[in-house]
Amino acid sequence: MRVGLFVTCLVDLVRPRIGFAALRLLEAAGCEVAVPATQTCCGQPGYNSGDRASARALARKVLEEFEGFDYVVAPSGSCAGMIRTHYPDLFGDEPVTLDRIGRLCAKTYELTDFLANVAKLDAVPGAFEGTVTYHDSCSGLRELGGGGGGGGGPGGAPPRVAGLELAEMKDATACCGFGGTFSIKFGDVSAAMAEKKCANIAASGADAVVLGDLGCMLNIEGRLRRGGDERTRVLHVAEVLAGSETGQ
Amino acid sequence: MQPQSAHFKRRAAAELANAQLQSNMRRFGGRFVAARAKVIGELDDFEGTRTAAAAARDRALENLDVWIERFEREAKRRGASVLFAETGEEVARLVIELCRHHGVRKVTKSKSMLSEEASLNQRLEAAGVQAVETDLGEYILQLAGEPPSHIIAPAIHKSKEQVADLFERAHGRPRTLDIPQMTREAREVLRGHFLSADMGISGGNFLIAETGSVALVTNEGNGRMVTTLPRVHVCITGIEKVLPTLEDLALVMRLLPRSATGQSISNYFTVATGVRAPGDRDGPEHMYFILVDNGRTNLIGGDLHEMLRCIRCGACMNHCPVYQTIGGHAYGWVYPGPMGSVLTPSYLGLENALDLPHASTLCGECGVVCPVKIPLPELLRKLREKQVDRGLRPRSEVLAIRAWSWLAQRPRLYASVTRMAARYLRFLGGGRRRISRLPFGGAWTRGRDMPAPEGRTFRELYARRRVDSGK
Ligand code: SF4
């Protein structure tokens, strides 16, 4: 199957290694992966800020770049959720486009959801020595019905990683306070929310917190470090599954 | 209540800095959340019940005028009068008129958020009528001179110690921290008021069209005292609270207490119908309904119409991570949390609550738990769109989003800009690979670092890899 990898704008800019980890995993699952070179952003910032026109323009662009693939996969519950849950809402007045969008939605997946439920990858290359605690992103969890950090997606068990031990944190499904532009508009409220998340991470005793969305990663890592925690590692689930991070 | 929602940011900052509030909110924490999670499993088909309840509310709202007329007819048939008020002021005016008409000097009240919309207590005091709140939480707040911070647990922002101080001052008895003892004190004080009041004012959880009744869901029994002991009962509620039948009531009642406090059923559940009939042992001689619009009709048939389904359970605020962090007062008007962030701008005007629709991470919890399936995150997003359409957002914000999207539509330019940004931010990150003061993002780095980028974009690295591997 031909898979179009939607790297996402944040991974492209901040953490390319997550993109490569996703690539490796998809290839390990036997997919033929292409990364359209013109891809940029899914349009979520505009959509959530009330600028529909911007969101529409970028949604159209994603549609054109990705509709030719058998599947579209993103290492982000938030961007996959934007496409699957919200793109249809943007084209209510364009039946023909809406049709195409519908087909795009049906084949768009968050990475771990795709690996577990479509590619049915049961052995992952990764190995991890240590304890991790998962933070599922809100979009992965509540827009896509599961998956994201915890891996596995709706109904799927997370792929097993050799050596990895799980320690669930308190309020694991609560928001970390990122919320895109929310984190800038209400920086202090957002940081206070992140602090609660960090306290729960610390209390879990895990060596690493593993997440499915770069937005949450930046927020949580930023708050952990500011709070003086230099020990807890903050990793994307793709890095752990692909074996680019091996623990202690 | 005087709206303060325009100052959300300042108020939220104050609540964050308020150590007492922070500790009280932490104590409240997930109590209702855990309780709800436990009891929703009692229903065989919780999701199906939500769907049915949403449909029942929609049925009522689609023909709201018809059901209100039916309600009015049935209520009148049972000796009650039905009055209508367009604004909060009008509510107060009507109540004051009724007080004059019936020679009322003292009013006991059970919980009513609508009376908060109408600033009823203040207006009654000004007219020389004493108003006594009898819901324990509301009673505490009346002593403190504060508005509620939660729609079902109004004094949730107060600690036991704070309440003890208030009671000591108001009751003139030795300070105690023993909760049963404190409750007993309040009961003793309130008992006298119940017996001497000439009018009882209640809210109404639902109005039943087919019987002309009001349904009241309470936990303290004060609602029954207020609606049966005084000569006159006035029920004040929003026009949207009508349900066509008792069957509909049974359906939503399976969800309301469970979603609100995590109770299978509230301690008291009252259906009050008509005035005292000959042979009845109790009940008011006079019963009035005041059905209030105060902005509600603006929502009918519009793109926020789902909001009218709201049954005021409070689950959305209990589960809201923002509410949990700043409490209800920050929102600046009667209704806090996600439902308040939709209602306040809808009732008071977009321009009077510009921050509220943005005061959410859109994490989705509220939409998931709402017992009548109100798509709260979508409604907040729609309000954001309306703000942009009406030119109410700051120019800098609108331009920043437009610039981003303009850039993102030009892949080659985008590639070189992000290439530079990755390097620049990497440089700012220095040896520790984190930025402690972000240019243009000071609000982010005030409370946390920004992890620095790796230094090259995925795009560059990927292209190079392809060249290297000769693909
Ligand atoms: S919006 Fe939904 S969850 Fe919130 S108070 Fe209303 S009914 Fe309850």
- Choose the closest CB to B358 out of A61, A185, A196: A185
Domain endpoint, select from A93, A117, A141 = A117
Inter-chain CB proximity B387 and A50 less than 8 Å: yes
Q: Is A192 on the interface with B (CB under 8 A)?
A: yes
Is some CB atom of chain B closer than 8 A to the CB atom of A7? yes
Instruction: Judge if A70 and A27 occupy the same domain.
Output: yes
Q: Which of A90, A117, A144 is the last residue of a domain?
A: A117
- Asked if residue A189 is part of any domain, the answer here is yes
Q: Say yes or no: A111 and A144 in one domain.
A: no
- Asked if B8 and B332 touch (Cβ cutoff 8 Å), the reply is yes
Specify the amino acid at residue B407. L
| A197 part of a folded domain | yes
Q: Indicate if ligand 1 lies below 6 Å from the C-beta of B255.
A: no
Residue A193's domain spans which residues? 127-246
**Residues A21 and A90 grouped into a single domain:** yes
- Residue (of B199, B171, B201, B169) closest to B183 by Cα position: B171
Is residue A63, in this structure, part of any structural domain at all?
Answer: yes
For chain A positions 151-190, those within 8 Å of chain B (CB to CB) are 171, 174-175, 177-190
Q: Which two tokens stand for residue B263?
A: 């109770």
**Among residues A117, A146, A165, which one ends one of the domains?**
A117
Assign A141 to helix, strand or coil.
helix
Place of tokens 């308040």: B340
Q: How far is B39 from chain A (nearest CA, A)?
A: 18
Residue at A108 is within a domain: yes
Q: How far is CA B453 from CA A12, A13, A36, A39, in A?
A: 9, 7, 22, 19
A141 and A100 within one domain: no
Q: Which of B217, B305, B313 to mutate to test the pocket of ligand 1 (most atoms within 8 A of CB)?
A: B313
Which atom of ligand 1 is least distant from the CA of B376? 1
| Residue among A39, A143, A177 whose CB faces B321 most closely | A177
Same domain, A233 and A134: yes
Using the beta-carbon criterion (under 8 Å), do A189 and B16 form an inter-chain contact? yes
Buried b / exposed e along B170-201 (16+ C-beta atoms within 10 A): bbeeeebeeeeebeebbbebbeebbeebbbbb
- What domains does chain B contain, in order, with CATH numbers? 59-297 (3.40.50.10420), 400-468 (no CATH)
Q: Say if residue A134 is in the same domain as residue A227.
A: yes
Angle at CA A233, nearest 5°, toward A231 and A237?
Answer: 165
Same domain, A110 and A204: no
Alpha-carbon distance A11 to B354, whole Å? 32
Pairs of CB atoms within 8 A across A/B:
204
Please tell me the total count of domains within chain A. Answer: 2
Main-chain phi, psi angles of A110, to 5 degrees: -75, 145
Same domain, A42 and A110: yes
Q: Is A122 domain-assigned?
A: no
Kindly determine whether residue B401 and residue A49, on different chains, have CB atoms separated by under 8 Å. yes
| Position B246, amino acid | L
Helix (H) / strand (E) element for B234: namely strand B232-238
The answer as to whether A201 is a domain residue is: yes
- Nearest CA, atom 6, ligand 1: B310
Asked if A49 lies within 8 A of B325 by C-beta distance, the reply is no
SS3 A33: strand
Residues A110 and A205 in one domain: no
- The closest alpha carbon to A136, from A127, A128, A145, belongs to A145
- Give the domain CATH number at A87: 3.40.50
Chain A residue numbers with beta carbons less than 8 Å from the beta carbon of B453 are: 13-15
Minimum-distance CB partner of A226 among B385, B388, B448: B448
Do both A112 and A159 map to the same domain?
A: no
The DSSP 8-state label assigned to residue A82 in this structure reads: I
Does residue A9 belong to any structural domain of this protein? yes
Same domain, A132 and A242: yes
Question: Does A158 share its domain with A232?
Answer: yes
Write out chain B's pLDDT in tens, 471 residues: 889 999 999 999 999 999 999 999 998 888 999 999 999 999 999 999 999 999 999 999 999 999 999 999 999 999 999 999 999 999 999 999 999 999 999 999 999 999 999 999 999 999 999 999 999 999 999 999 999 999 999 999 999 999 999 999 999 999 999 999 999 999 999 999 999 999 999 999 999 999 999 999 999 999 999 999 999 999 999 999 999 999 999 999 999 999 999 999 999 999 999 999 999 988 999 999 999 999 999 999 999 999 999 999 999 999 999 999 999 999 999 999 999 999 999 999 999 999 999 999 999 999 999 999 999 999 999 999 999 999 999 999 999 999 999 999 999 999 999 999 999 999 999 999 999 999 888 899 999 999 999 999 999 999 998 888 875
Q: How far is the CA of B314 from the centre of ligand 1 (A)?
A: 5
Q: List the single residue in B321, B359, B449 with the smallest CB-CB distance to A225.
A: B449
Residue A75: which of A109, A121, A126 has the closest Cα?
A109
Q: Is B316 in the pocket of ligand 1 (CB under 6 A)?
A: yes
Give a three-class secondary structure readout of B399-466.
HHHHHHHHHHCCHHHHHHHHHHHHHHHHHHHHHHCEECCCCCCHHHHCCCCEECCCCCCHHHHHHHHH
